[in-house]
Amino acid sequence: MTYQSLNPATGKLLKKYEELSDKDLEAKLAVAATCFKTWRRKTYAERAVVVAKAAALLHDQAEAFAHTMTLEMGKRITEARGEVEFSANILAYYAKNAERFLAPEELHPAIGEAHMESSPIGVIFGIEPWNFPYYQLARVAGPHLMAGNVLVVKHAGCVPQCAIAFEKLWTDAGAPAGLYTNLLISHDQAERVVDDPRIRGVALTGSVVAGRSIAARAGQNLKPSSMELGGSDAFIVLEDADLEHTMKWAVWGRMYNTGQTCCAAKRFIVVDQLADTFLDKFKAALGALKAGDPLDEKTTLGPLSTEAALLQLLDQVDHAVAKGAKLVMGGKRIDRPGSYMEPTILTDIKPGNPAFRDEFFGPVALFFRVKDEDEAIALANDSDFGLGGSVFTRDIARGKRVASRVETGMMFINNISWSDAELPFGGIKNSGYGRELGGMGIQEFVNKKLVRHAALEAPL
């Protein structure tokens, strides 16, 4: 069964769902294609009525949406509420700003006049992950629906109730049939959806393996795609950092969403002068986290999303230690019902250790000590990923210089405030390509058309 809802805090099955038949999938794609013919002709104001209504409903029903998320993938309830509110803000942001972002751009040719105009391209296929069950959907739905496209979405198999709830949100907001369609489909069916000529673009957030497969498939079909494929972000601590401020971000940056975040702080790179003090404080802070029911607001450590995710992470840690890494703390599952893991720190990770290259998607921190700023930057850049990163220093000008030298799609100085509706999000290298959110996010799946008028005679 591909789509089943299991509570990772208890291990209990909540609900199962059957995959769509090929016949039902065809019917849904046909409705989406038909919807595009009329939705594309709607004005921005008309589209905004639906998108803004969805935002308002999401805000008004935040507690119910958050509760479903916590039961289904284990996100602590306070974090779940925050995600729902952020998702509502994203939808509202694009309802308000889409027309401005896609306004015609006047050009100034030497002869005549010209402009660029933006138009939707059709049905967009989204493939989205479980770690942010609504935010991942909102950040494709807001921009691309407001641009005049329509969406069909394959969500992760472990969050079907969230996927269904988000689809119902659009129906409740007055969306026409086919504007936003949730697809409970297999991987084979997903590949056929990419091939389908009615699909005009593909947006994926997921693993590198999934990204390579889907990007190749989209490329074979000459369809544009955007890929956000995870990361192994550096958290650089220079000798002049405010350690108290830095420590708060270190704990939050690694442990938010139980560490299951693409742009989480994963490689802690600390200059020698502060390394021992930082590590001692970091161990103490992580050790103070207490596992508990994620529905309880007092819980500070939630479960991993699935038992499979927990087992994979435990195996990664064991393999890293077998290859020479030192286990400073943690490394084991917590003896209680559910898929809980101890906060973990690994040190002495050499370049030949698989941990040096791999992404750890959970409460595992990799700690490195370096002699100076240049060595910190070199280590930060010695990665197959390039999603985000951060640098902590009291000298903001220095922080900006370091940020410019680190090879990522995003860098943060004295914070890890990853995502705002108005700020583009995305990476380079194995972290993917394309951008979501901000003014750039809405440009991914529109036709940028040149229109020119000039009083010219045809050349003979």
180 and 252 part of one domain: no
Q: Is residue 418 part of a domain?
A: no
Specify the pLDDT at position 460.
78
CATH for 177: 3.40.605.10
Percent of the chain surpassing pLDDT 90: 98
For 333-352, how does the pLDDT look when each residue is reduced to its tens digit (9 = 90+)?
999 999 999 999 999 999 99
365's tokens: 């921190």
| 175-232 confidence digits (pLDDT tens) | 999 999 999 999 999 999 999 999 999 999 999 999 999 999 999 999 999 999 999 9
Residue 38 lies in a domain: yes
Query: Of 167, 228, 342, 436, which is the active-site residue?
Result: 228
Domain range spanning residue 292?
Answer: 233-413
48 class by beta-carbon count within 10 Å (0-12 exposed, 13-18 middle, 19+ buried):
buried
Judge whether residue 400 has pLDDT over 90. Answer: yes
Structure tokens at 206: 């997921």
Domain count, the chain: 2
Q: Answer yes or no: do 376 and 328 share one domain.
A: yes
Same domain, 272 and 401: yes
- Biggest CA–CA distance in the chain, Å, is 84
Query: HSE-up of 50 (CA within 13 Å, CB side)?
Result: 25
pLDDT value of residue 381: 98
Backbone angles phi, psi at 329, to 5 degrees: -160, 155
Same domain, 324 and 398: yes
Confidence of residue 1 (pLDDT cuts 50, 70, 90): low
State residue 119's pLDDT score.
98
338 contacts 318 by C-beta, under 8 angstroms: no
Residue 37 tokens, joined: 């013919």
Dihedral sign (CA 39, 42, 46, 51): positive
400 and 255 in a common domain? yes
Is residue 324 over pLDDT 90?
Answer: yes
- Whether residue 82 is contained in a domain is answered as yes
Residues 212, 275 within the same domain: no
Three-state DSSP state, 258: helix
Q: Which distant-in-sequence residues (6+ apart) come within 8 Å of 103 by Cβ? A: none
Residue 279 lies in a domain: yes
Token pair 């699935």 is found at 306
Residue 175 backbone class (left: φ over 0; alpha: ψ -120 to 50; beta: rest)? beta
What is the pLDDT averaged over residues 422-439?
A: 97
pLDDT for residue 3 is more than 60 = yes
**Full-model pTM:** 0.97
For residue 81, name the pLDDT band (cuts at 50, 70, 90). very high
pLDDT digit string, tens, across residues 99-124 = 999 999 999 999 999 999 999 999 99
Q: 225-236 pLDDT, tens per residue? A: 999 999 999 999
Gap between the Cα atoms of 325 and 347, Å rounded: 6
CATH number for the domain harbouring residue 239 = 3.40.309.10
Question: Quick check: is 422 in a domain?
Answer: no
Domain co-membership, 52 together with 40: yes
Q: Are residues 195 and 134 in the same domain?
A: yes
pLDDT confidence of residue 370 = 98
Count of helix runs (H) and strand runs (E) in the chain: 14, 20
Establish whether 262 is a catalytic residue: yes
Same domain, 282 and 149: no
pLDDT of the residue at 418: 80
Q: Are residues 273 and 225 in the same domain?
A: no
Q: Give residue 2's pLDDT band: very low, low, confident or very high (50, 70, 90).
A: confident
Q: How confident is the model over 10-22, as pLDDT tens digits?
A: 999 999 999 999 9
Cβ pair 38, 102 in contact under 8 A = no
Across the chain, mean pLDDT equals: 97
> Is there a catalytic annotation at residue 228?
yes
Mean pLDDT, rounded, for 31-55: 98
User: 35, 158, 162, 262: which is the annotated catalytic residue?
Assistant: 262
**Within-domain flag for 457:** no
Question: What tens digit of pLDDT does each residue of 351-385 get?
Answer: 999 999 999 999 999 999 999 999 999 999 999 99
Chain Cα centroid distance, residue 85: 16
Judge if 245 and 122 occupy the same domain. no
Tokens of 343: 């906060």
Structural domain contains residue 456: no
Asked if the structure places residue 404 within a domain, the reply is yes
Q: Using one digit for the tens of pLDDT, what is the confidence trace for 277-293?
A: 999 999 999 999 999 99
The rounded distance, in Å, linking the Cα atoms of 186 and 181 is: 15
The arrangement of strands across the sheet holding 225-228 comes to: 180-182, 150-154, 123-127, 199-205, 225-228, 432-433
* Terminal Cα distance for the chain, rounded: 67
Assess whether 247 and 224 both reside in one domain: no
